[in-house]
Amino acid sequence: MPYAPSPFRVTKYGKLHFLFFRSLKRNDLETIKDSMNYVLFKKLPKTDRLVTTEMGSFMLRRSTTDFQFVNFSYEKEVKSYLGSIVKTLDCS
């Protein structure tokens, strides 16, 4: 069964809290708004937009959950591993 967001799924609160403050640190209020709309109302963003993070710049497509993937905390272990490979390649 695919993940369905819910404000009542309290096991996810720790991760959501961390994602919220990470976006707030980047002053990315649009991603916070998109996340809240998705969790509370199951509504997806209506427009495309460009977001720049510590990982680079990303085009977020409308009507998708792309907004969650630009947060470094999402799949952090995978992103850290890929970042280490990029650093190794840059030093070669």
Domain boundaries defined on the chain: 10-91
Encoded tokens for 89: 């390649």
Cβ(63)–Cβ(46) below 8 Å = yes
pTM of the model: 0.65
Cβ(52)–Cβ(45) below 8 Å = no
Q: What does the pLDDT look like over 51-81, one tens digit per residue?
A: 888 778 899 999 998 888 887 667 777 777 8
User: What pLDDT score does 43 carry?
Assistant: 92
Residues in the chain: 92
